[in-house]
Amino acid sequence: MKHCWAALLAVCACATQPMSPSAGDVTESARWEEQARRLDQELRSLALAAHVDCKQVCSLAAAICDLADRICLAAARHPEAAELPASCRDAKERCQSGRQRVDRVCRCS
């Protein structure tokens, strides 16, 4: 048991040993991390896509953007209504955000 603890401590000590990597190491490491992050994202998207009803989510995203268009059209037609441009901006952002989230998992026509 004593040996096990000693080995574990030695491993931890090695793992926490301060190192001074070269600039090349740092770049390489950052590149691998970025790739790992991208692959992880892709994997999550694939896993999500397997459970998502693309027809439904595409239709919902389209409905959001259609409503954003209607809001912005009404805002353009009625410049006297001061609060409408803010509603238009908000709706556009929601449309864009919805589209981006859907694009990660589905290909909408």
Partner 1 sequence: MRRWLALALLCGCAASEPPASSWIMQASALSDRADDALNRRDLAFAQQELEQMLLLVEKTPDVAERRTLLEDTYYRLARVELLRGRPTDAVAAANEGLKMGRERDLFTANLLIARGGAYEALGQASAAVADYHDALLVNEGLLRQALGEP
Which residues would be at the binding site for partner 1 (CB under 8 A)? 48, 51-53, 56-57, 60-61, 63-64, 67-68, 70-71, 74-75, 77-78, 81, 83-84, 87, 90-91, 94, 98, 101-102, 105
- Give the nearest distance from C-beta 48 to partner 1 in angstroms: 6
Task: Tell how far CA 5 is from the center of its chain.
Answer: 42
Output 31 or 70, the one with its CB closest to partner 1.
Answer: 70
Those residues with Cβ within 8 angstroms of residue 85's Cβ, 6 or more apart along the chain or in another chain: 75
Output 29 or 41, the one with its CB closest to partner 1.
Answer: 41
Output 8 or 74, the one with its CB closest to partner 1.
Answer: 74
Residue whose token pair is 């998992």: 105
- Give the nearest distance from C-beta 39 to partner 1 in angstroms: 20
- Give the nearest distance from C-beta 36 to partner 1 in angstroms: 23
Output 30 or 48, the one with its CB closest to partner 1.
Answer: 48
